């Protein structure tokens, strides 16, 4: 079963704009990860945020985590055409304070950045 | 550092035939995963290995799917017999462990696109 629910399902923006994607989940987590998948290619890890962190940055990416609301958001600033891809959140469930490394992926957000 | 290798990249078979996929993880990664990704959906974990032992295979359809990682390195996933609904991309991933069971991010291979006719 898919734990993460992403919103929106599809997002279309112009180059230079910011893109925000949201993820909600149901159970307690150890960490939450975001992955990108380009058309016809495998998934690439973008960023990992642990359950005791609230915000994390990596280049043009900013991830927030609100464990009280069981939600996360991914912000891509100053988007480029090359950012066009599907973006997935994945949760690593919490089992007594440790993880088993089992990721549960959401359905993904399809981002299209127009040049 | 070489990435996760998978073969073949594409496979077309008829229903009721059998098929096998191969995966070689990143060197030194003890944990190996097989995922099934149906078009328009996120990946779904089929099986997780820790070295050559199975950690989780709760979502593996065991009547037709099998997987092994005999020497704790590369792995094969087999489907026998295949059904139309098995058409999907099969992704292999690997990860390392930091400390005791604190897993790092997963590194994915390019996947095998299976079409069952």
pLDDT given for residue A13 in this prediction: 97
Tell whether the model's pLDDT for residue B51 goes beyond 90: no
- Split at pLDDT 50, 70, 90, the class of B1 is low
Find the residue in A nearest to B47 (Cα): A102
> pLDDT tens digit string along B57-71?
999 999 999 999 988
Q: How far is B47 from chain A (nearest CA, A)?
A: 9
For residue A50, list chain B residues with Cβ-Cβ distance below 8 A: none
Which residues of chain A register pLDDT less than 50?
1
Whether residue B78 contacts residue B13, with contact meaning beta carbons closer than 8 Å, is answered with: no
Tokens standing for residue B108: 């994915």
Q: Would you list which residues of chain A are within 8 Å, Cβ to Cβ, of chain B?
A: 2, 4, 30, 33, 35, 41-45, 48, 88, 90, 92, 98-108
The candidate with the shortest Cα–Cα distance to B20, out of B74, B71, B72, B56, is B74
Question: Cα separations (Å) of B54 from A85, B18, B73?
Answer: 32, 22, 13
Whether residue A7 contacts residue A107, with contact meaning beta carbons closer than 8 Å, is answered with: no
Q: How far is A37 from chain B (nearest CA, A)?
A: 10
Phi, psi of B23 (to 5 degrees): -140, 135
CB-based contacts of A23, cutoff 8 Å, min separation 6: A4, A5, A6, A7, A32, A34, A71, A72, A73, A74, A89, A106
Tokens standing for residue B46: 């089929």
> pLDDT tens digit string along A48-76?
999 899 999 999 999 999 999 999 999 99
For residue A85, list chain B residues with Cβ-Cβ distance below 8 A: none
Whether residue A47 contacts residue A108, with contact meaning beta carbons closer than 8 Å, is answered with: no
CB-based contacts of B40, cutoff 8 Å, min separation 6: A107
Which run of H or E residues covers position B115? strand B112-116
Strand order of the β-sheet with A19-24 is A5-7, A19-24, A71-76, A61-66, A55-58
Burial class (CB in 10 A: 0-12, 13-18, 19+), A65: buried
pLDDT given for residue B89 in this prediction: 96
Tokens 């017999």 label which residue? B81
pLDDT given for residue A1 in this prediction: 45
Tokens standing for residue A90: 């994945």
pLDDT given for residue A42 in this prediction: 79
For residue A96, list chain B residues with Cβ-Cβ distance below 8 A: none
Q: Given an 8 Å threshold on Cβ–Cβ distance, is B108 in contact with A42?
A: yes
For residue B110, list chain A residues with Cβ-Cβ distance below 8 A: 41-42
Q: Given an 8 Å threshold on Cβ–Cβ distance, is B106 in contact with A45?
A: yes
């Amino acid at each position: 079963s898919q734990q993460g629910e992403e919103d929106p399902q599809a997002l279309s923006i112009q180059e230079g704009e910011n893109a925000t994607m949201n993820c909600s989940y149901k159970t307690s987590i150890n960490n939450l990860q975001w992955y990108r998948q380009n058309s016809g290619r495998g998934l690439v890890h973008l960023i990992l945020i642990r359950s005791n962190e609230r915000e994390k940055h990596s280049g043009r990416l900013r991830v927030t985590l609100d464990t009280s609301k069981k939600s996360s958001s991914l912000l891509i600033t100053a988007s480029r055409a090359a950012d066009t891809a599907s973006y997935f959140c994945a949760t690593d469930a919490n089992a007594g304070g440790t993880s088993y490394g089992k990721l549960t992926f959401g359905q993904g957000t399809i981002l299209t950045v127009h040049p | 550092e070489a990435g996760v290798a998978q073969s073949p990249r594409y496979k077309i078979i008829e229903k009721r035939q059998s098929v096998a996929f191969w995966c070689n993880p990143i060197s030194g990664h003890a944990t190996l995963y097989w995922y099934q990704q149906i078009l328009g959906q996120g990946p779904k974990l089929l099986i997780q290995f820790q070295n050559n032992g199975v950690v989780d295979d709760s979502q593996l359809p065991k009547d037709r799917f099998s997987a092994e990682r005999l020497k704790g390195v590369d792995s094969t996933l087999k489907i026998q017999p295949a059904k139309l609904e098995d058409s999907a991309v099969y992704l292999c991933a690997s990860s390392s462990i930091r400390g005791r069971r604190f897993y790092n991010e997963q590194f994915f291979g390019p996947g095998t696109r299976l079409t069952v006719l």
